[in-house]
Each structure stands twice: as C-alpha cells, then as structure tokens.
Amino acid sequence: MHIYQVKIRNEAYLRAFGDNLRKVLDRLKKTPEEVAAHGNIETKQVYRVINGEHSSTLSVIYAIAKGAGVHPKVLFDFEFKDEV
C-alpha cells in the first residue's frame, strides 16, 4: 500500500481570499503593516496572503484576524464559485 501526499492549491480560491482580506482591511482602514504588528507576524506574510501567493496556515490566518481586530470567520465570509 502506497500513501501519497497530495498538495492541493486552488489558485482562484487563494486570490479570492486575498481579495476579501484586502476589502476587510480597506473597510477597517487598516494597513498590512498595522495588522502584522498587532498580529505579531511579518508584514510580508500579510502581503503574500493578500496577493494570493501563500496558502496560509490557520495560525497565520488567526494572527491576521487578531491583528485586524476581527473574528477569523470574517476573513472567510466571501462568495466563491468553485468550478468542479
């Protein structure tokens, strides 16, 4: 029996998540630098998520939410049409 580790990376979803994060930050009038400082993570991590370049861990998403002063579910509250 062979077990294969499969990395699933949905580029469209990552971009949609990043777009939503950008909208949330704009609405809150917060910069990625402020969010990073308050979330105790590096600024480049926030920018990677915003730009859809990084498939973040839950820990990073939690830090971003904390830094933005919102519940993590706010970052996932967006429409996305998955093409299956």
pLDDT 10s digits, 62-80: 999 999 999 999 999 999 8
Please state, in angstroms and rounded to a whole number, the distance separating the CA atoms of residues 22 and 20: 5
Domain residue ranges in the chain: 11-75
Q: What is the pLDDT of residues 21-76, one digit of tens each?
A: 999 999 999 999 999 999 999 999 999 999 999 788 999 999 999 999 999 999 99
Is it true that domain 11-75 has CATH number 3.90.1150.10?
A: no
Structure tokens belonging to residue 9: 């990376």
pLDDT at 22: 98
- pTM of the shown model: 0.84
